[in-house]
Each structure stands twice: as structure tokens, then as C-alpha cells.
Amino acid sequence: MNSNIIGLLFITAGLAYGSLALDGIYSATLGWLVNHEWIKPPVPGKGDNLILGRKPTIIFYSLTLIVIGVYILIKLD
């Protein structure tokens, strides 16, 4: 696969994963799965009510994916 496509996929994955830290997008996507009992919600009282982790962790991982994608676009071209 072309390195440009791989870099763009990393950036897209980072943006999609990072958007889940926003409450509106989260409730429309993973919140829907919780409401329809496809996945189990987290135990109450342990951190934020996000299935994928705390908001700072989600933002950190999404920024990491974006940086990897930019690195692939710049260095491996």
C-alpha cells in the first residue's frame, strides 16, 4: 500500500477516535450501542462514563495517531 494512504488512514483514525471525546458524538455512536444493549456500560463511580476510557486518554491516543500519520506522510514519502 502507498505510504500516503497509510498516513491518511492514521490521521482519519485519530480524528474519528478523538471525536468520541465529544459528548454529542459519543452519545450518537457508542451511547446508541449502550442503549440498545449491544455493549455494557462501565461500572458507575469509576471515572468518566465513557466506555473507551477517560477523555484525556482518548485525546492523547487520538493525537498520537495523528502525529504518526503526519510522520508517515512527511518522512516516508
Query: What's the pLDDT at 47?
Result: 56
* Contact assessment for residue 24 and residue 17, using Cβ atoms and an 8 Å cutoff: no
- CA distance linking residue 37 with residue 33, whole number of Å: 6
Residues in the chain predicted with pLDDT less than 50, given as ranges, are: none
Query: What's the pLDDT at 45?
Result: 65
- Its pTM stands at 0.72
